[in-house]
Amino acid sequence: MAEQTNVSKEDGSFMIKVATFIVDRRNLFFLLFGIAIIFSVVSMNWVSVENSMSAYLPDTTETSQGLDLMEEQFITYGTAKIMVTNIPYDEAENIADTLENLDTVIMLTFDNSEEHYNNFSALYDVTFGYSETDDRALEALADIEEMLSDYDIYVSTSMGDASAEQIASEMQVISVLVAIVVVTVLLFTSQTWAEVPVLLLTFIAAALITKGTNFIMGTISFVSNSVTIVLQLALSIDYAVIFCNRYKEEHQKLSIREADIVALSKAIPEISSSSLTTIGGLIAMMFMQFGIGRDMALCLIRAILLSLLAVFLLMPGLIMLFGNAMDKTYHKSFIPKIPFVGKFAYATRFIMPPLFLVLIVGAYIISSKCPYVYGYSMLETPVKSDAMIVDEMIEESFGTSNMVALVVPAGNYDKEKALLKEIDARPEVDYSMGLANTEAMDGYMLTDKLTARDFSELLELDYEVAELLYMTYAVNDENYAKIVNGLSTYSIPLIDIIMFLYDEVQEGYVTLEDDLMDTLEDAHSQMQIALDQLQGEEYSRMLVYLTLPEEGDETFAFLDEMHTIANKYYEDATILIPGEATSQYDLYKTFQTDNTVVNVVSILAVLVVLLFTFMSAGMPVLLILIIQGAIWVNFSFPAIQQKNLFFMSYLIVSSIQMGANIDYAIVISGRFMELKNQMPKRDAIIETMNFAFPTIVTSGSMLALAGIFIGKMSSDGAICGIGQCLGRGTIISIIIVMFVLPQILLLGEKIIDRTSFAVSIPLKLEKTSGLMRVDGLVQGQINGTVIGEMHGFVRGDANLFVNMGKLEQREDDGEDLEELLQKEKEEDKK
């Protein structure tokens, strides 16, 4: 109880009351955070992760509509490409026979062409009798791998989550390395050893709760799942460091509890304001048409808000626990003063701004030519996944394949045949596969029409039985004219009559000899597989293998041309061409809009925050120009290197760079504007850079190294690009705010002052002498003895402007000021 009397209650400010409640109820918050952490450890396994980029395309895109329709209309069987190396052709044939006889394999493609046997390597295209999402397909593939374990085999498949598992494994290693970096940086930048566990415990609690609350979103993208925690650390560690520095500053003159309360009351508005620029940049990502932007923005914003809660509610209690240890473990700061930076800034204040202007104009022009790509096929990553290595080996021996599906209304085999014939004639097409051009039996295609006599000869079926079958089919089809006019010219597509005959046999209406029944069952089995994959109730699907790369202007143009060709046969009908190439074409089209929207919204969001932070129109423009210039310089590097960059990396990193890196500029600008009227400009900028350097080096080094680790150690093209650009962009931002921003502030401070819209409140000059009670924010001169913090007693002469609060003259009985202050505290307590 004695401890609680140390903070005077005459300070009735709201923030002091809030801070006092948090500090004094710390055990309650320890309990709440403990419960939340235990719950999060359990709930972090509830979230599902979406590994497909195309799942986040807008519903209006062709890929999204096509995938939905194909899932509804067709069965996509599990498939795998299996390459066996260092074997002669005879042995490769034996393996093919063995695979084909497996009950789990319903289709196997292998021959002596270069597409399947080359350089003593065999490539088998295997189709399993289960859908690609069925675990039994993976089990069947595992059985084949075990069966061929004595050979050198390489398996490529879209089934399973092997890539996701490898990404998760990589991110675990990256997280450990980032944690080591964080501890190292905190030890290097700390002033007391015991503050490091306070900072780490605060972040670990926020990170665990963030991961544990992902289930609220139901499903998150693999990108968000991989990088959110690492970015949360880099983005939000500032908040804990700011609060810790505030506490150490207040603790120089106050006890642990008092310093904790006062520091928290000041840190809450300060840190909340700082976080708004980061959140503003992230909000811009929510306006992207490409859904991963919204997904990642929501994950990161939630992570930042939870970090704020950990700093405001948990960290004050941790400071109380570690306060004595912090007092005992003070050490000399390892961060040097950097007066040379301020001196350089003052000496080059007329040189650097125009040079920077030239730089950003050039960077804007160069960065606009950045080679963006929309798929993984043209990306290079420092680390290659097992799947990437296998795909490269297969491509080296057998080339690449680029397949798209052409989905058209079902019911007209003649149109399908004509369409496939025209498509196949194009040089951009290697080959196509549909019901109309797939061979069934003895040279007949699946949809070729046969008369009763043709059918009887094909199956060696009695003509009378075939004729009766055709008659029954006509009745079932309500095609009575054929019965009246004779069946000799009546022709039926082969696939339809085979399926009809099989149904009749199953119903017991037709009986066939054993040999014929075996032939029918084989034919029915293969045709049913073809129907499952290529014909639905309302739509037919054709597979078109292109000779073009998965993306590029030529590929995108031919996709449009395929629509034109198909429209000749199916006017005013829904025609869709889903596939990897179409997905990248859709991403290309969304990027054209998202690029503009993200840039504009992120700038506007940060601009609004800065306007109210600095109460000046000039300052936000200067700061945004600085960071936007850094963004342009950042994305000039891939343009100069002609290194392909995944488009999403640009959208995400530009938002984060605008929202997070601008904090460095705010620290410098705010300090300089505070000091410029108190000392010469040269001294003000030197002092500003000395003050800002520890904050910038702490936060900046963490974010930069986190990005570098992600960029160097991830095998996923999107995640790797985010890391590379974020690491490079943070370093560029640090260099520019350290060596360009000071000069711009020195030149532009008059513009900032003239564009200020802060409301000037008339101040009342109070002149008095003797004993007085001072409450509020005052500015002026006091000649005498002072005791009290912001509120207290003065004995002497005072000339004060009262900004807020009041100044009261008191009757002076010569009482000691300290006793007088203590007496008033006790009265307030009563």
pLDDT by residue (tens digit) across 96-109?
Answer: 999 988 989 988 88
* Contact assessment for residue 805 and residue 777, using Cβ atoms and an 8 Å cutoff: yes
Is beta strand 439-441 parallel, antiparallel or unpaired with respect to 444-445?
antiparallel
Contact partners, residue 168, CB within 8 Å, separation at least 6: 225, 226
> % helix / strand / coil in the chain, to the nearest 5?
65, 15, 20
Note the helical H segments in 400-544: 413-424, 452-459, 463-476, 480-485, 494-507, 514-534
Q: What is the mean pLDDT of residues 813-830?
A: 67
Note the helical H segments in 44-194: 62-73, 89-100, 135-147, 162-189
Q: If we measure between CA atoms, which residue out of 255, 274, 279 comes closest to residue 312?
A: 274
* CA 88 to the chain's CA centroid: 47
Contact partners, residue 695, CB within 8 Å, separation at least 6: 238, 241, 242, 664, 667
Contact partners, residue 461, CB within 8 Å, separation at least 6: 455, 512, 516
Q: Per DSSP, what are the bridge partners of residue 767? A: 799
What's at 544, amino acid-wise? V
Structure tokens at 174: 């990256």
Residues 234-273 have pLDDT tens digits of 677 778 888 888 888 888 888 999 999 988 988 888 788 7
| pLDDT reported for residue 724 | 92
- CA 778/CA 762 separation, integer angstroms: 13
- CA 367/CA 371 separation, integer angstroms: 9
- CA 512/CA 299 separation, integer angstroms: 64
Share of the chain above pLDDT 70, in %: 89
Angle between helix 195-212 and helix 222-251 axes, rounded to 10 deg: 150
CA distances in angstroms from 605 to 236, 530, 664, 715, listed in the order given: 19, 54, 17, 33
| pLDDT reported for residue 615 | 78
Is beta strand 764-788 parallel, antiparallel or unpaired with respect to 402-409?
unpaired
| pLDDT reported for residue 276 | 84
Beta strand segments in 622-683, E:
645-646
Q: What is the mean pLDDT of residues 439-452?
A: 89
- CA 57/CA 368 separation, integer angstroms: 24
Sign of CA dihedral 429, 430, 435, 437: positive
| pLDDT reported for residue 322 | 93
Higher pLDDT, 489 or 38: 38
Give ∠ CA 191-193-196 in degrees, rounded to 5.
95
| pLDDT reported for residue 768 | 65
- CA 646/CA 206 separation, integer angstroms: 30
What is the greatest pairwise CA distance in the chain?
132
| pLDDT reported for residue 789 | 47
- CA 306/CA 204 separation, integer angstroms: 11
Q: Which of 208-217, 441-450, 475-484 has the lowest mean pLDDT?
A: 475-484
Residues 596-640 have pLDDT tens digits of 888 888 888 888 888 877 777 888 888 888 989 999 999 999 999
- CA 258/CA 243 separation, integer angstroms: 14
Instruction: Give the residue carrying structure tokens 């396994």.
Output: 45
How many other C-beta atoms lie within 10 A of the C-beta of residue 133? 12
* Contact assessment for residue 699 and residue 271, using Cβ atoms and an 8 Å cutoff: no
